[in-house]
Each structure stands twice: as structure tokens, then as C-alpha cells.
Structure 1
Amino acid sequence: MPVPHLSTALNGPILDLENRIINAMPTIEHWIRGKWREYTVPFYCSVDLRNSGFKLAPVDTNLFPGGFNNLNPDFIPLCVQAMMNAIDKICPDTHSLLLIPENHTRNIFYLQNIATLQNIMQRAGLYVRIGTLLPEVTTAIDIDLLDGQSIRLEPITRKDNQLSVANFEPCAVLLNNDLSTGIPEILQNLHQIVIPPLHAGWATRRKSNHFAAYDRIALEFANLIDIDPWLINPRFSSCGEINFHEKQGEECVAAAVDRILSVIRKKYQQYGVKEDPFVIVKADSGTYGMGIMTVKDGSEIYKLNRRQRNKMAVVKEGLQVSHVLVQEGVYTFETINQAVAEPVIYMIDRHVVGGFYRVHTGRGIDENLNAPGMHFVPLAFETTCLEPSASQSNFIPNRFYAYGVVARLALLAAALELQQTDTSEVELSTDQTPA
């Protein structure tokens, strides 16, 4: 598959960063392999990256990825091989699996993701049925998809702490549902393997916990290859007791914005960056690009109009926002056909299996691209993420290898995050900006 036109700023420290990553490849791969002896790798994961030409960093990590249909179909065999490894490590005796999706029966694109995921697992040697949590689905329903396929959703039954669908007793349950509205009673206290674990869902998970874990991983990695950790790590803080409608908690958010902007300005001055720094304020839990705004001065928080407050107050499923993440904004200077783009990397187990560019013709380089109007350009990352080129002029494979490395750092951070939230160890600090 041809690589689409990619335009990236080709000057500044990012090239030095890429070269350091390429030159340290054996050290990096050995270090990552060692980390997987310390942590349990998440079953699957997707990571949104931003490449500003002077910085390459993850800005979001999804433990219930919903875009497998956007991957290059030529590399489904790589997904199948990774899936075999993932299943074998979790439950080697598993031969049947119940897949539970989001309640998006009207989102055909999401259902195509489910069909693709089911196909990958079937080709990995599993019997796979799809069970829905929708109470109104009392008999199996078939849904036709845009590509000519169809999927069957079946009602789930629970007996003796085991989930099943008609004439099907699965050994394990795979969630592609991020549990934003909470953990349904039917999923609690099961005597079945549930992957990802329930505490990976947004009912309990916080982005601030993830990026605190990433801060540790990034610092260790930066020391490993002797780089400034800021080049791969967005600063952040978090605020609780927020109510945008009632203007509660604004002081915390505004102060965090100004504090992070101050840090960014110093870093921009250090690296000769001429752009204006910005901060992203977003809900501390949840997906789908909801509850997000770009801020360039703390005073803007006090000046939000009613429409902006409504946008920030509610996320997926109409849930109220009470905690926010205040995160350093990372410019994206990548474009496809003059439209702003950002890479999204997909992993199954510890393997990079593909990726795509999220592209938005109506958004700027300092804005969230996960919004209505976006589209996707699939890329085959299998060789370019894992096989960098020795030629310094062949920057695209080297850049994509760097993508794969940083995405796997986020995957490691997710593993650390899940370990800590599962064992209730000492709570991580949620403010990584200096006093």
C-alpha cells in the first residue's frame, strides 16, 4: 500500500530524537522486553500521538480500541499472529470467547470495527460470539454492514457467575465496551476471565493516573537513551470538584493552565520554538473526543460562554464532568493532502499491528482531531514501525519506528497504571509540573 503524502517539520530536535532512538534500537528493544517481565501487557491498546517536529508524545491511550476497521487489511495476518500470542498468555486453554461491544447499534462504523475484531480472533483459532448488554435485545439480531458483511448480536445470560449466549459457553469474555456508565451488575464477580479487567474501564480509570504512570516510564526511557524526557512527555495536572455549569473549580483549572504554560514557554525558549504554547483541558475520563478544549491563557477559563460550558460539562452517555486533565498541548505539523493529521498506533499484546492517520480538514494544528468530520487514512506500520532504515535520508521508516517506540512506552504506562489501580498501591501524584 503506498504511503500517503506526509508533511512534517524536518528541522529541530525531533530529528536528533529519531536518530537517538534508531541508534539505540538494540538497547531499547532489550529494555522493553525486560519491562514485560515486570508488568502484564494489556490485551490490546491504541495510542494517539502528536508529532510537532520538535516533540513526539502520546496524548491519549485507549484500552478498548474501536478502530480495527481502519487498519490496512493487508496486515490482518499480523493482527492474527499477535492475537494468538495474547490469547495463549491469558488463557492457553481458551477456544471460545464472548465479545461484548459498546451499545452502538446505530454506529455502523463502530460495528465494522467489531466485525473486524471478530474476524481476527476467528482466524486466530477461536470460536467467537457477540453478546450485547442492551436490555431491549431479547433475541439474536443481524445487522448488515456497509462492506457487505453482517454481524449477529445476541442477548447475554448469566448463570452461576458465568456469562453465555444461546448454546455457547465461552471460556473468557473480551470487552470492547469502555464501561463509561459504570460496571453493569451482570459483569461483576464473574468466575470467568474478563479482558481487559473491569478496572480498566472509565467507570474507575483516570487519564491523570495513566499520564502519571507514563511520566515514570518516560523518565526511565529518557535516561536510558540520554534525552530530555520533555521531548516525549506532555506536562499535565488534574483538577477535581469541577462543575462548568456552576463555575465551580475554575480557579484550579485556570491556575493549572498558567502553570503548565509557564513550563512550556521555558522549554520552547530552550529549543528555539517560535510557536505559541497551548494547553488542552479535557475530561479526566472518557473517550470520543468529548469535553475537550484548547486554551492559551488561564483567564479563558473564566470567560467561557454558555455553549462552551455545555460542551465541557457533559461527555459520552451524558455523564457529567467532575474531574479534568489539564495537559500540555502538542502541535501536530503532519498533514495529508493539506489536512491536519495525527498518527494512531494499534497494538495487540506487546506487538505493534498497524495504525492510521486521523485526519480533519476543519481543525487546526493546535486542536483536537477526534471530532465529527474526521476521517482515517490507513497505514501499514508492520515494517515501518519495527524496521528502521540505516539511511539518514530515509526519514519515513525512522519516524514510524519512533512512533512505534513511543506508543509502546504508553502501553507500558498502561500496564503500570493497571497494576497500581488493581493493587491499590501508593497513589501517584497527579501534578507533574514544578512548583
Structure 2
Amino acid sequence: MVPHLTTALTGPLLSLEQRMLAAMPQIEHWFRSQWAEYSVPFYASVDLRNAGFKLAPVDTNLFPGGFNNLNPEFLSLCVQAAMSAVEKICPDARRLLVIPENHTRNTFYLRNVAALTNILRHAGLEVRIGSISPEITEPTYLETHDGGSILLEPVQRKGNRLVLENFDSCAILLNNDLSGGVPEILQGLEQNLIPPLHAGWATRRKSQHFSAYNRVAQDFANLLGIDEWLVNPYFDTCSGLDFHARVGEAELAEKVEQLLAKIRIKYAEYGVEQEPFVIVKADAGTYGMGIMTVKSPDDVKDLNRKQRNKMAVVKEGLQVSEVILQEGVYTFECIHDAVAEPVVYMMDHFVVGGFYRVHTGRGVDENLNAPGMHFEPLAFEKPCSLPDCAGAPDAPPNRFYAYGVVARLALLAAAIELQEHDPDQ
């Protein structure tokens, strides 16, 4: 099943997809040359938005937590990609320690951990799950939402290694985004930590990622001979904020106005009739916290108490003082009147699947990564790597190919970002 695209696929996006299909050999060669230059992240997921006139990434997660939402038929793709990723990091690896998030009560997240470990075991690894949560003091079975279970074991630090009882691994895979900081137990280890610690939200910034993406998008646009705006959202940053004390409101409002003005120019150029909007969100962090949609500078002035509280704090109770202002990209894909957006999953430099995030309680201009009883994933029915070059640009395999291309652009930006911000470089 593919969501219905409520806008007719004509104009810029149809032309863009046609250009991608025609240039597929050049695109794939270009990606190969990039991966020869940059070390690709072990895994990642990218949130995309398809506005009918624009297809762009809006977030890149280096600790993806939705492997349970992928199409089971794509398991072989995941396993082959995992093999490739492991070989690059630790060719002799037999064992892998996975460290998940501490929120052990999220049974859907636990199902993700189960799916991820299943992939890694099929890739030929002995995998065990070690928890750094203070709540896990002995081996503990936790139930997933679908009736399964996973075994969490408390990690032990021995010298500069993290071990479990009778288990010492070559590498440690983090599925914990370190929003609350880097715990001492993970510092100074001699084992390979993947992703590296500086990929976590304790130090990473979304603005760093999109700065790298600007360069990637420009190179890609030059390759295809297109306007980079078609795959790239404008952004700006604002720091020194205190939402509770209302510090920085005027500067934030001014930057919103400047960004909206830039978007209006592009909308006029392409004949887009929708109203431009900007997403203001914390420059670090996940889980859809600290985000608001604004269509006017007035929207960030005189926030009421509830709105200020929502923007002031994100995951792990961290105070927000820095935000990224990102061009809002409409999503005009919908399923049964519910708004949908694609999320693409990658391991190594391979696209291994994806799903649609669906939310009946949200609009086409709102963040869908948000709590909601109607949130439901819909797995992609076809892989993103096999376009039908003889078919229409909006045929499912071709739309998925375009998704895969843009997601890999974001993955490349993440590779550049991690290399440039590596504290050991």
C-alpha cells in the first residue's frame, strides 16, 4: 500500500523524479565515490516530507528506534547490510553488545530492540543486550507490545571494557541517543563504540547536520542540473533563549520573519499557493519534543504558559536554549484521511526499508513524530533500490527510489558531520 498523494504529481517533483530515474547510473556512481571518501554511519533513519513540489529530509536520527516497523520481507536486505557494516568496524567480530535506551516501559521501543538484535544475529553475531539503566540490577526479561520478550542484563565495567556475565564483545552498538549526556561508564572504553559518542545528542546539533546537508544538496543539484531547493529545506539558528523567562523572543521572531521571506520568494517562483511556515525545534534531541509550527513572527511572541513549557524542556528534562528554525515542508500524502510521512531506514550505505508515519490528529503542516493514539506505521511494500525506469515517475518503486536517494543524501551529510566534529580528529 502506498499513501495517496493529494496533490497531482506534476511540475517540479514529477520532473525531479524523472531526472533521478534518467540519471540513476550517475547518481549511484556519485554515491560510491562519496562512500570511498567518508565513513558511513552504522545505521540511520531519515524523516522525509513530500509536498508534491518538494521532497526533503527534515530530521536524521543516528540511533534509529523503529526496526520493528519495517516490512519483514526486507529482513534479508537488513542482514546483508548489517554484515557489511560490521565487517568495516570489526571484521573478526563474533559478539556484539547492544545498549538500548533506558525507558524500559516503552513496549514498542522494546520490540524495536528485539527486531534489531534479530537482524544482527542473522548477520552471524552472538548478541546480548546490556542495560546502563540503574533500574536493571539483575538479568531481567521485559515484554514487548506484541507478547514477545527480550532479556536485559546489567553491564559491568572491567578496566576499559564493558562486559556482561561471561560475555566480552569486540564492539558495542548504542541504540541510546545519549540525550541526558554521556554517562561515565561509556567514557574511555577501548572497545569500538558505534555510533561514536559524539553522535549523541549530548554534543550533536541538528544545525551541524543541516550545514553539512547544504553542501551535499548543492553537489547533488549540480550533478542533476536542478534547483537544490527542491531537496533542501532552508534553515537558521537562534541561541541564548530562555522560554520560561521570555529571553530571546524578539530575535527569534525576527529570524522567523527572515526565513518566511526567503520561502515566499521560492513559493512565488514555483507557483506554490500554500502558506509558508517554519518549524522551530530544539537544536538537539528527539521524540518530537520542543517543536512548534509558526506561520508568522507573532506566533513566537507572547507564547502562553503552556506553549513556553512545551518549548523549554526536551527529553531527559534538558533545558532548551538553542533552536533550529527549519523551513516547513508540507506533507500531502495521506492514508484514509490521516496525514502520512515516509521514514527511510539505512544500515551501512544501503537502504533497507522504511515506513510511513501516520497520524490522524495532526495536520499537513505539523510534526508527526508526536504522541497520539492514532499513530501507526505502515511498512513500505517495495524496497527503495529497484526503480522501474520504464514506469511512471510516481509509480511506487520509483517514488520509493526517490525517497532512498534523498535519504542517502542525508546519510552522507551525517557522515560528513561526524567526521568534521570528531573530537579525536
Asked whether 1:6 is paired with 2:11, we answer no
What is the match of residue 379 of structure 2?
378
What is the match of residue 56 of structure 2?
57
Q: How does 1:59-78 map to 2 (within 5 A)?
A: 59-78=58-77
Q: Tell me if structure 1 keeps the 8 A contact 2:2–2:396.
A: no
TM-score by length of 1: 0.95
What is the match of residue 406 of structure 1?
406
- The structural deviation recorded for 1:81 is 0.7
Letter in 1 for 2:403: Y
Q: Tell me if structure 2 keeps the 8 A contact 1:70–1:376.
A: yes
Q: Tell me if structure 2 keeps the 8 A contact 1:281–1:325.
A: yes
SS of 1:136's partner is coil
What is the match of residue 124 of structure 1?
123
Change in CA separation of 1:424 and 1:214 when aligned onto 2, cut-off 3 Å: farther
SS of 2:181's partner is coil
SS of 2:301's partner is helix
- The structural deviation recorded for 1:246 is 0.5
In structure 1, the gaps of 5 or more residues are 426-435
Partner Cα distance (2:222, 2:2) in 1: 34
- The structural deviation recorded for 1:255 is 1.4
SS of 1:269's partner is helix
Partner Cα distance (1:256, 1:272) in 2: 24
SS of 1:58's partner is strand
Partner Cα distance (2:95, 2:381) in 1: 29
Q: Tell me if structure 2 keeps the 8 A contact 1:71–1:354.
A: yes
What is the match of residue 308 of structure 2?
309
In structure 2, the gaps of 5 or more residues are none
Q: How does 1:246-261 map to 2 (within 5 A)?
A: 246-261=245-260
What is the match of residue 85 of structure 1?
84
Asked whether 1:357 is paired with 2:371, we answer no
Q: Tell me if structure 1 keeps the 8 A contact 2:3–2:340.
A: no
Q: Which has the higher mean CA deviation after the structures are superposed, 244-253 or 286-295?
A: 244-253
Partner Cα distance (2:423, 2:367) in 1: 33
Asked whether 1:348 is paired with 2:347, we answer yes
Q: How does 1:101-140 map to 2 (within 5 A)?
A: 101-140=100-139
- The structural deviation recorded for 1:5 is 4.2
TM-score by length of 2: 0.97
Letter in 1 for 2:194: I
Letter in 2 for 1:419: Q
Partner Cα distance (1:160, 1:186) in 2: 10
Q: Tell me if structure 2 keeps the 8 A contact 1:75–1:380.
A: no
Q: Tell me if structure 2 keeps the 8 A contact 1:180–1:202.
A: yes
Partner Cα distance (1:25, 1:178) in 2: 34
What is the match of residue 42 of structure 2?
43
Partner Cα distance (1:221, 1:406) in 2: 10
Alpha-carbon displacement from aligned partner over 1:328-373 (angstroms, at most 9, x marks no partner): 0000000011110000000000000000000000111000001111
- The structural deviation recorded for 1:240 is 1.0
- The structural deviation recorded for 1:423 is 5.2
What is the match of residue 432 of structure 1?
none
Partner Cα distance (1:339, 1:196) in 2: 34
Change in CA separation of 1:400 and 1:169 when aligned onto 2, cut-off 3 Å: same
Alpha-carbon displacement from aligned partner over 1:74-124 (angstroms, at most 9, x marks no partner): 111110111001001111011101100000110000000000001000111
Change in CA separation of 1:275 and 1:157 when aligned onto 2, cut-off 3 Å: same
- The structural deviation recorded for 1:396 is 2.3
Partner Cα distance (2:214, 2:323) in 1: 18
Partner Cα distance (1:313, 1:244) in 2: 5
SS of 2:389's partner is coil
Partner Cα distance (1:390, 1:81) in 2: 28
What is the match of residue 417 of structure 2?
417
Partner Cα distance (2:180, 2:371) in 1: 22
What is the match of residue 391 of structure 2?
391
What is the match of residue 165 of structure 1?
164
Q: Tell me if structure 2 keeps the 8 A contact 1:21–1:225.
A: yes
Asked whether 1:284 is paired with 2:248, we answer no
- The structural deviation recorded for 1:134 is 1.0
Partner Cα distance (1:360, 1:339) in 2: 6
- The structural deviation recorded for 1:393 is 6.3
What is the match of residue 368 of structure 2?
369
What is the match of residue 268 of structure 2?
269
Partner Cα distance (1:59, 1:5) in 2: 19
Q: Which has the higher mean CA deviation after the structures are superposed, 7-16 or 323-332?
A: 7-16
- The structural deviation recorded for 1:322 is 1.0
- The structural deviation recorded for 1:157 is 0.4
Letter in 1 for 2:124: G
SS of 2:142's partner is strand
Letter in 1 for 2:162: L
Partner Cα distance (1:312, 1:148) in 2: 36
What is the match of residue 99 of structure 2?
100
What is the match of residue 335 of structure 1?
334
Letter in 2 for 1:406: V
Q: Tell me if structure 2 keeps the 8 A contact 1:388–1:401.
A: no
Letter in 2 for 1:379: F
Change in CA separation of 1:392 and 1:381 when aligned onto 2, cut-off 3 Å: closer
Q: Tell me if structure 1 keeps the 8 A contact 2:17–2:394.
A: no
- CA RMSD for the aligned pairs? 1.2
SS of 1:376's partner is strand
Alpha-carbon displacement from aligned partner over 1:254-302 (angstroms, at most 9, x marks no partner): 1111111001100000000000000000000000000000001112211
What is the match of residue 428 of structure 1?
none
- The structural deviation recorded for 1:389 is 3.2
Q: How does 1:127-276 map to 2 (within 5 A)?
A: 127-276=126-275
Q: How many residues align?
A: 422
